[in-house]
Amino acid sequence: MNNRFASYSVAGLAAFGVILLLFSSQSAAQTAAQRAARAKERAAVALAKPTPRLADGHPDLSGFYAGQAELGDPKEEDGGHVVTKTNDGSVFFSYGGANTGGQAGLDGNPTGEGGPAQQPPPYKTEYLAKHQKIVATVYGWVSHLDPFMNCRPSGVPRSGINGALEIVQSPTRMVILYENNPGPQYRIIYTDGREHPKDYDTSFQGHSVGHWEGDVLVVDTVGLNDETWLGEPLTATVHSDKEHVVERFSRKGDTITLETTVEDPVMFTKPWVLPVRRASIGPSNDYIQPQACNTNDKDHIIEPSATDKYVCNWCQKDPDAIYGPGASTNKSTPGAKK
């Protein structure tokens, strides 16, 4: 099985080396609509399956999850390196594959951390200014200031249930194993009735305890350091070490749902509620693959400037020079003037 991280690296190199070839906008739109329809069908099937349960009767959240339920494609042959050939003979390679459902498109990443677009946290005035300074460094949706680029763990709530991960659950604890966060990481959630320690040192994942409310696992996390960001650079960055996160995990069929609320009495004016995130069980033959975080990519990240404004993802800023005179006004050209 191909290494997911290597696949994404190849995607970036391919995109910058040969750019995306011309393709029909109508055909691309049709393909996207077809993918969306298939994703909805798969989501319905996943929800309709019986929900597995532990011996104590609580839902068993265990399993390998391969990305967002709305975007993921459980069939490697259907959602792997998708190749779309249009009527004019052009070819579009979607290297996001099964984990993105082909949504890693030309116009950037409007959904942020692989999931629904987030609303900015309710920052107090002084911290909003700090956050906005970070936003000013974002090129597309990436900032060289992002701790992720320094191989720092994503922390809570950013880790969430995005990407490839394995959940292992027992009556006394739940362990989340992340494949690329940004390298292999784990998180332990204790469900044996213990409380948070009084003298817990802060860490990237903090200290998490959970209890059941019916079929919902409610997880309370404290002891988080201030070395992570809350989410994507455009919407959710800094937080203090007084951050407090409450998550609600539930499962129906093969789909896991995560609801999240974040409190930060230092930086927020009120609690911040994230959009609901969901993920589905991955292919039966898939598994967590060994990954290694590499900071080399950070050297290639730039900031927007008066002479270099972000246009779109994986496209030419001067289509005329690549595709010939008039290409910049052709709506089917990546990066063309709309």
Nearest to 2 by CA among 124, 134, 164, 113: 164
pTM of the model: 0.74
CA gap 147, 143 in Å, rounded: 9
CA gap 255, 50 in Å, rounded: 10
Q: Long-range contacts for 8-17 (Cβ within 8 Å, ≥24 apart)?
A: 8/95, 8/96, 10/95, 11/93, 11/95, 11/96, 11/104, 14/93, 14/95, 15/95, 15/313, 15/314, 16/314
Residue range 218-238: average pLDDT? 96
Nearest to 196 by CA among 222, 217, 173, 218: 222
Name the residue with higher pLDDT: 258 or 14.
258
Full DSSP string of 75-111: -HHHHSSEEEE-TTS-EEEETTGGGTTT---TT--TT
CA gap 135, 133 in Å, rounded: 5
Letter string b/e over residues 179-213, b meaning 16 or more CB atoms within 10 A of that residue's CB: bbbbeebebebbbeeeeeeeeeeeebbbbbbbeee
pLDDT given at position 162: 85
Angle 94-179-256 from CA coordinates, rounded to 5° = 85
pLDDT given at position 132: 96
Residue 139: Cβ within 10 Å count = 16
> pLDDT digits over 197-208, tens only?
998 899 999 999
Judged by DSSP in three states, 235 sits in coil
First to last CA, the chain: 39
Do the Cβ atoms of 186 and 176 come closer than 8 Å? yes
CA gap 132, 49 in Å, rounded: 44
- Indicate the pLDDT class of residue 216, thresholds 50, 70 and 90: very high
Q: In the predicted model, is pLDDT for residue 72 greater than 50?
A: no
> pLDDT digits over 74-127, tens only?
333 344 444 555 566 665 555 444 343 333 222 233 333 444 456 889 999 999
Least confident of 41-45, 46-50, 61-65, 283-287: 41-45
Nearest to 295 by CA among 163, 182, 214: 182
Token pair of 299 as six digits: 């050297």
Q: What percent of the chain has pLDDT over 70?
A: 70
Do the Cβ atoms of 176 and 164 come closer than 8 Å? no
pLDDT given at position 290: 86
Task: Round the average pLDDT of the chain to a whole number and report it.
Answer: 79
Using omega within 30 degrees of 0 as the cis cutoff, is the peptide bond preceding 275 cis? no
> pLDDT digits over 246-271, tens only?
999 999 999 999 999 999 999 999 99
CA gap 307, 325 in Å, rounded: 22
CA gap 91, 80 in Å, rounded: 15
Do the Cβ atoms of 230 and 236 come closer than 8 Å? yes
Residue range 307-319: average pLDDT? 75
pLDDT given at position 327: 74
Q: What domains can be seen in the chain, in order of their start residue?
A: 1-48+71-113+305-338 (no CATH), 58-69+115-295 (2.40.128.20)
Token pair of 331 as six digits: 């709506």
